[in-house]
């Protein structure tokens, strides 16, 4: 074990805004790492609450904890992008203030770099889990461990599930080539960053869990809604289409699969919003189907459905019967079936959520 007084090899950035209780857990998960040569930098987006006190309690006993407070809220994307530009260690990672690193994350990711020195990203499995400890998904469970050369890593991400960047360790050279996360993308800027990295650089992958991606009512994907995600997804697709450094065949495959995924999500959302009588939300989802997926037939049919349900409110009940029909169009949800060895460890993961 490397002593904490050595020069740090890894910087972990934790952006935060008004989540002092969850932030305490996130910081603790970094300090509990079995690998000790790191620093953790908290970038407070002008929370104006007890966040400085929470971080200060850790910093008093551990100088590896560093606190930076913005004079004003500059937005989540800009907060992360600016923090990335200040990294000066050979390796770095990002940790959302509501997520958790598992104790061996650094060691597991470093083993990936040792096995594949040419890799610029070392990916571990991110476990999507609720605050009550129920595991809903492990995005890269369909991958094979090993080295993925560009653009194969990107293609695997868009086809088989991408890792949350919480469970990825990056080399700093990657920032010098790609630049920091693109604030123009908005909500899914983390997905954009890992896709661009995997499109241009080798990726080392292990299926050993490295982090918990915690799903709760305040999660960005839940509170942000379609408005936060869809325009960003469309920008990601456009960027991939225009990136001539990626082979044309790979670009075509990636954009086709990404468009497929956003189409499925928007079709499900449109029907659910119509059934709930949320007309503004349904109109927004249908509009994104037209803009992001460049569809005409499906939006037209959904508009007719919304008009009918709005005129005859009782007809919304019949939408339950459409479940089988639209599943045939968009495909059934992917079932999550972990192996017994992994399932036996879920109780240990749930204990990591304790505050």
| pLDDT score at 261 | 87
Task: Determine the Cα–Cα distance for residues 225 and 342; give it in Å rounded to an integer.
Answer: 31
Cross-strand pairs, 204? 122, 147
- Share of residues in the chain with pLDDT > 90 (%): 59
Please state, in angstroms and rounded to a whole number, the distance separating the CA atoms of residues 259 and 194: 18
CATH among 3.55.10.10, 3.90.550.10, 2.60.120.200, 3.40.50.720 for 10-219: 3.90.550.10
| Cβ-contact 185, 192 below 8 angstroms | yes
Residue 138 has pLDDT above 80, yes or no: yes
- Asked if 323 and 183 count as a contact pair (C-beta separation under 8 A), the reply is no
Residue 290's pLDDT is 87
pLDDT digits (tens, 9 = 90+) for 55-77: 999 999 999 999 999 999 999 99
> For residue 16, is the peptide bond before it cis, meaning its omega torsion is within 30 degrees of 0?
no
3-state secondary structure of 44: strand
pLDDT at 166: 96
DSSP annotation of 120 reads S
Contact partners, residue 297, CB within 8 Å, separation at least 6: none
Q: Where are the alpha helices (DSSP H) in the chain?
A: 20-31, 51-61, 76-84, 105-115, 152-160, 173-178, 189-200, 220-223, 225-242, 248-275, 279-292, 297-311, 323-330, 340-343, 346-351
Domain residue spans in the chain? 10-219, 224-330
- Predicted pLDDT at 327: 52
The answer for residues whose C-beta is within 8 angstroms of residue 167's C-beta and 6 or more apart is 105, 123, 124, 125, 126, 209, 210, 211, 213
Confidence of residue 118 (pLDDT cuts 50, 70, 90): very high
Model confidence at 307, in pLDDT bands (50, 70, 90)?
Answer: confident
The β-bridge relationship of strands 91-94 and 168-171 is: antiparallel
Mean pLDDT of 209-226: 71
Chain segment 227-244, per-residue pLDDT in tens: 778 889 889 999 999 999
Residue 271, pLDDT > 90, answer no
Number of Cβ within 10 Å of residue 8's Cβ equals 18
Higher-confidence position of 175 and 294 = 175
Average confidence (pLDDT) over 312-329: 58
Residue 218 clears pLDDT 90, i.e. is over it: no
What pLDDT was estimated at residue 330? 47
State the Cα–Cα distance between residues 17 and 331, nearest whole angstrom.
Answer: 37
For residue 40, the model assigns a pLDDT of 98
Average pLDDT (180-203) is 95
pLDDT score recorded for residue 267: 87
Give 211's contacts (C-beta < 8 A, 6+ positions apart). Answer: 95, 99, 100, 101, 102, 105, 124, 126, 127, 164, 166, 167
pLDDT value at residue 2:
42
Q: Please give the average per-residue pLDDT across 93-113, as a whole number.
A: 97
**pLDDT at residue 221 tops 60:** no
Q: What are phi and psi of 283, to 5 degrees?
A: -60, -35
Task: Grade residue 140 by pLDDT with cuts at 50, 70 and 90.
Answer: confident
| Confidence category of residue 217, pLDDT binned at 50, 70, 90 | low
Return the pLDDT at 239: 94
Q: d(Cα 77, Cα 186) in Å, to the nearest integer?
A: 6
pLDDT on residue 313? 74
**Tokens encoding 278:** 């949320």
Q: What percent of the chain has pLDDT over 70?
A: 86
Cα 147 off chain centre by: 21
């Amino acid at each position: 074990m490397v002593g904490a007084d050595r020069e740090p090899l890894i910087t972990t950035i934790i952006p935060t805004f008004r989540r002092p209780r969850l932030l305490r857990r996130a910081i603790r998960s970094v300090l509990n790492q079995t690998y000790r040569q790191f620093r953790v930098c908290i970038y407070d987006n002008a929370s104006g609450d007890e966040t400085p006190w929470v971080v200060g309690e850790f910093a008093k006993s551990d100088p590896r904890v560093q606190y930076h407070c913005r004079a004003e809220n500059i937005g989540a994307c800009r907060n992360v992008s600016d923090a990335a530009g200040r990294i000066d260690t050979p390796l770095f990672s990002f940790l959302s203030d509501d997520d958790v690193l598992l104790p061996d994350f650094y060691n597991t990711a470093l083993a990936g770099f040792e096995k594949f020195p040419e890799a610029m990203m070392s990916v571990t499995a991110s476990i999507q889990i609720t605050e009550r400890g129920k595991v809903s998904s492990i995005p890269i469970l369909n991958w094979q461990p090993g080295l993925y050369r560009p653009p194969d890593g990107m293609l695997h991400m868009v086809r088989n599930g991408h890792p949350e960047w919480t469970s990825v360790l990056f080399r700093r050279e990657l920032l010098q080539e790609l630049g920091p996360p693109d604030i123009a993308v908005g909500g899914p800027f983390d997905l954009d960053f890992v896709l661009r990295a995997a499109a241009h650089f080798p990726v080392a992958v292990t299926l050993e869990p490295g982090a918990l991606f915690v799903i709760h009512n305040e999660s960005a994907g839940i509170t942000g809604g379609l408005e936060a995600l869809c325009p960003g997804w469309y920008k990601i697709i456009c960027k991939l289409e225009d990136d001539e450094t990626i082979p044309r065949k790979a670009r075509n495959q990636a954009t086709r699969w990404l468009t497929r995924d956003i189409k499925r999500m928007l079709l499900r959302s449109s029907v659910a919003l119509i059934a709930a009588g949320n007309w503004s939300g349904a109109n927004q989802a249908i509009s994104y189907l037209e803009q992001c997926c460049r569809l005409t037939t499906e939006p037209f049919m959904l508009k007719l459905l919304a008009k009918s349900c709005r005129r005859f409110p009782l007809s919304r009940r019949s939408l339950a019967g459409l479940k089988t029909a639209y599943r045939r169009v968009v495909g059934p949800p992917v079932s999550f079936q972990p192996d017994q060895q992994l399932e036996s460890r879920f109780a240990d993961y749930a204990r990591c959520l304790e505050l």
